[in-house]
């Protein structure tokens, strides 16, 4: 039932308009496709979660012999019309259904997908890429994107805390501080998706998870735990922790005996605070109470990200951290 609602949400034109207007996202995919044109031209491509079909059409422009564009939401019906409108029906075959359910009668040379969710893994679409890879990708085939990294770092964001919490101290001359505990619960109980800048970040980031789309297995996504140890570069209040990700568009894996060198140029799509903003923004876990940090103060602990037992597309996050001689859990 949840999947039905999930795919229905992706039938709304606003979702696709937002993604298509994300210039960083869409242009990076187009550049990656053209960068690997020699591996796509004349080959068979599978586009998982094709949406409006834009990536499939980019692949057609790169000379693919055939693209299977698959989407379980009703946007697939619009994708069929867009393919016809661009006179590509001889190259792009749109299949309306879940990738786990559709029938493709040949192996493919390339799998392409824009599967990343907030905090990289929210929505858990990566499992569908793994399924498609294991069922249809030819040995030595190309997967775009090929690798992903999830990062985290402690952040300060006094403005956000002021707007959401301290606002209640004086509302048109009326004292409403009694609302502050409820405001903290409502504003900071769940992760917040918003845009911050590099100036909000207190330390160098750490890597929480790395994904190799050529080798990762579905069970590896069930629970991810990473330890961290940060040293604050500033004296500032710690308001929470930010998460963002990068994906890389590298070529097929080379066998150990292969003499072919790894390409010097790697195309990267980054959602980092210091880079151009994307529709993914950053994911923030805010603390209920800020912690005043001194310069060079240590923050260490661990973060565990696990798929919800009720709905695998949801994430549970457990953050344990220690600083200033005190342990905290969120």
Does 191 lie in the same domain as 50? no
Q: What is the pLDDT of residues 263-319, one digit of tens each?
A: 556 899 999 999 999 999 999 999 999 999 999 999 999 999 999 988 888 999 999
Q: What is the pLDDT of residue 310?
A: 85
Whether 201 maps to a domain, the answer reads yes
Whether 124 maps to a domain, the answer reads no
Q: Among 17, 87, 100, 114, which one carries the catalytic annotation?
A: 114
Q: Among 100, 105, 123, 222, which one carries the catalytic annotation?
A: 123
Whether 138 maps to a domain, the answer reads no
Beta bridge partners of 245: 150
Q: Is 81 a catalytic residue?
A: no
Q: What is the pLDDT of residue 259?
A: 52
DSSP H or E stretch at residue 142: strand 137-144
Does 244 lie in the same domain as 203? yes
DSSP assignment letter at 222: S
Report the C-alpha gap between 20 and 22 in whole angstroms: 5
Whether 207 maps to a domain, the answer reads yes
Does 229 lie in the same domain as 83? no
Does 256 lie in the same domain as 162? yes
Judge contact between 144 and 116, C-beta under 8 A: no
Does 304 lie in the same domain as 162? yes
Q: Is the bond into 84 cis (omega within 30 degrees of 0)?
A: no
Q: What is the pLDDT of residue 199?
A: 96
**How many domains does the structure of the chain reveal?**
2
Q: Is 114 a catalytic residue?
A: yes
Does 47 lie in the same domain as 169? no
Whether 239 maps to a domain, the answer reads yes
Instruction: Give 179-207 as a 3 state SS string.
Output: HHHHHHHHHHCCCEEECCCHHHECCCCEE
Does 169 lie in the same domain as 31? no
Does 36 lie in the same domain as 102? yes
Q: What is the pLDDT of residues 233-255, one digit of tens each?
A: 999 999 999 999 999 999 886 65
Q: Is the pLDDT of residue 51 over 90?
A: yes
Q: What is the pLDDT averaged over residues 68-75?
A: 96
Report the C-alpha gap between 20 and 26 in whole angstroms: 6
Does 201 lie in the same domain as 95? no
Q: Domain holding 27: CATH number?
A: 3.40.50.150
Half-sphere exposure of residue 247: CA atoms within 13 angstroms, side-chain side: 25
Q: What is the pLDDT of residues 106-162, one digit of tens each?
A: 999 999 999 999 999 998 899 999 999 999 999 999 999 999 999 999 999 999 999
Does 174 lie in the same domain as 109? no
Cβ-proximal residues to 96 (8 Å cutoff; 6+ apart), any chain:
71, 72, 74, 76, 77
Q: How confident is the model at residue 321 (pLDDT cuts 50, 70, 90)?
A: very high
Buried b / exposed e over 236-274, threshold 16 CB at 10 Å, is bbbbbbbbbbbbbbbbbbeeeeeeeeeeeeebbbbbbbe
Report the C-alpha gap between 18 and 16 in whole angstroms: 5
Does 266 lie in the same domain as 197? yes
Whether 204 maps to a domain, the answer reads yes
Say what percent of the chain tops pLDDT 90.
89
| Domain of residue 227, residue span | 147-329
Does 84 lie in the same domain as 177? no
Whether 255 maps to a domain, the answer reads yes
Q: What is the pLDDT of residues 182-218, one digit of tens each?
A: 999 999 999 999 999 999 999 999 999 999 999 999 9
């Amino acid at each position: 039932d949840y999947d039905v609602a999930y795919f229905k949400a992706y039938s709304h034109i606003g979702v696709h308009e937002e993604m298509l207007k994300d210039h960083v996202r869409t242009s990076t995919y187009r550049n990656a496709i053209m960068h690997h044109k020699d591996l796509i031209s004349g080959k068979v491509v599978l586009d998982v979660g094709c949406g409006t079909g834009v990536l499939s059409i980019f692949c057609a422009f790169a000379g693919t012999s055939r693209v299977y564009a698959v989407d379980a939401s009703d946007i697939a019906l619009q994708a069929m019309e867009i393919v016809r409108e661009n006179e590509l029906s001889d190259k792009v075959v749109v299949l309306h259904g879940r990738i786990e359910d559709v029938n493709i009668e040949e192996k493919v040379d390339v799998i392409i997908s824009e599967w990343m969710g907030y905090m990289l893994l929210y929505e858990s679409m990566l499992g569908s890429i793994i399924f498609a890879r294991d069922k249809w990708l030819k040995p030595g085939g190309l997967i775009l994107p090929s690798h992903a990294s999830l990062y985290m770092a402690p952040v300060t964001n006094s403005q956000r805390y002021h707007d959401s919490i301290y606002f209640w101290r004086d509302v048109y001359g009326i004292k409403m501080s009694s609302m502050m505990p409820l405001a903290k619960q409502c504003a900071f109980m769940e992760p917040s998706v918003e845009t911050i800048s590099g100036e909000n970040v207190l330390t160098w980031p750490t890597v929480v998870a790395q994904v190799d789309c050529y080798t990762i297995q579905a069970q590896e996504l069930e629970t991810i735990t990473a330890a961290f140890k940060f040293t604050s570069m500033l004296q500032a209040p710690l308001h929470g922790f930010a998460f963002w990700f990068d994906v890389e568009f590298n070529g097929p894996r080379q066998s150990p005996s292969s003499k072919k060198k790894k390409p010097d140029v790697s195309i990267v799509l980054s959602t980092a605070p210091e880079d151009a903003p994307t529709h993914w923004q950053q994911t923030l876990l805010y603390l209920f109470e800020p912690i005043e940090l001194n310069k060079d103060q240590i923050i260490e602990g661990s973060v565990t990200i696990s798929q919800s037992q009720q709905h695998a597309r949801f994430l549970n996050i457990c953050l344990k951290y220690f600083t200033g001689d005190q342990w905290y859990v969120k």
